[in-house]
């Protein structure tokens, strides 16, 4: 069984069930959006899938391999990578150094003062190519702390892709951005995740409907509906639960 498969996942905090039996599937190469009202469990589900929380029950697999209960490090080795709502970059390092470190991790290399040999040459070349694809190569020597907010977000996604994941999880990548920055970020995400599976949580419905191949709507801890953008837009239950006037 290929892609990400989430089956009957439950997550409880004491007597409170936040996820009450989530079923979700992200196909290979698919851009899949997860939407829903505040408190529906989106962040909890993201944290469970990415190994930052342990589910109470259920199963999760990636390309047929069980991954539920794996640590974030183990998941990275299995081909899953994620970004966060708040930007996670190394402020005092340059853009090049940030991506370089992420690329080193994929090559299972540790920092060394003696960086000689073909593997180190490959890491440098791959870092430069990623920055070029991300259109951040002109900022390679700039400290991350001095980059604009949208550039920092792009840098973080670039670092995420540097691990060469099969599945990328993006948590509200356009939050806090202007309309121009949002349009740039949508094009950027399309470019950087080409050929990979994508699961994205996003509140901006223009982004969701312009980016996703399929959309799942989470409400009250379960997936209310999954379908193509037009199906979701016209789903009566989804309109009632979440979309409202947007549809």
Beta bridge partners of 31: 198
**Pairing assessment for the beta strands 197-201 and 16-26 based on DSSP bridges:** unpaired
pLDDT tens per residue across span 84-108: 766 778 899 999 999 998 898 776 6
Confidence of residue 242 (pLDDT cuts 50, 70, 90): confident
Paired tokens of 197: 């599976």
Tell me the DSSP string of 83-115: --SS----TTSBHHHHHHHHHHHHTT----S--
For residue 105, give every residue at least 6 positions away whose Cβ sits within 8 Å of its Cβ, in sequence order, or none.
Answer: 76, 162, 163
> What pLDDT is attached to residue 138?
94
> What pLDDT is attached to residue 237?
84
pLDDT tens per residue across span 159-213: 999 888 999 999 999 988 999 999 989 999 999 999 999 999 998 999 999 999 9
Q: Which residue has the tokens 């509200």?
A: 172
Query: At residue 115, does pLDDT exceed 60?
Result: no
Full-model pTM: 0.86
Q: Give domain limits for the chain.
A: 31-51+78-246
| Residue 3 and residue 28 in contact, taking contact as beta carbons nearer than 8 Å | yes
Architecture of domain 31-51+78-246: 3-Layer(aba) Sandwich (3.40)
């Amino acid at each position: 069984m290929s892609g990400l498969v989430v089956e009957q996942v439950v997550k409880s905090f004491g007597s409170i069930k936040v996820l009450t039996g989530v079923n979700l599937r992200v196909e290979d190469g698919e851009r899949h959006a997860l939407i829903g009202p505040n408190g529906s469990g989106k962040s909890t589900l993201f944290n469970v899938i990415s190994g930052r929380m342990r589910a109470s029950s259920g199963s999760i697999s990636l390309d047929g391999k069980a991954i539920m209960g794996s640590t974030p490090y183990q998941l990275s080795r299995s081909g899953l990578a994620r970004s966060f709502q708040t930007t996670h970059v190394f402020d005092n390092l340059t853009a090049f150094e940030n991506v370089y470190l992420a690329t080193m991790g994929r090559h299972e290399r540790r920092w060394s003062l003696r960086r000689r040999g073909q593997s180190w040459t490959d890491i440098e070349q791959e870092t430069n190519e990623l920055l070029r694809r991300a259109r951040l190569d002109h900022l390679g020597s700039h400290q991350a702390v001095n980059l604009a907010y949208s550039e920092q977000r792009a840098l973080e996604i670039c670092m995420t892709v540097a691990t060469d994941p099969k599945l990328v999880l993006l948590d509200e990548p356009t939050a806090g951005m202007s309309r121009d920055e949002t349009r740039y970020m949508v094009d950027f995400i399309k470019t950087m995740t080409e050929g990979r599976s994508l699961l994205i949580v996003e509140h901006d419905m223009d982004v969701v409907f312009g980016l996703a191949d399929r959309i799942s709507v989470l409400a009250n801890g379960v997936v209310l509906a999954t379908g193509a953008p037009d199906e979701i837009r016209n789903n009566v239950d989804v309109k009632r639960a979440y979309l409202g006037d947007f549809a």
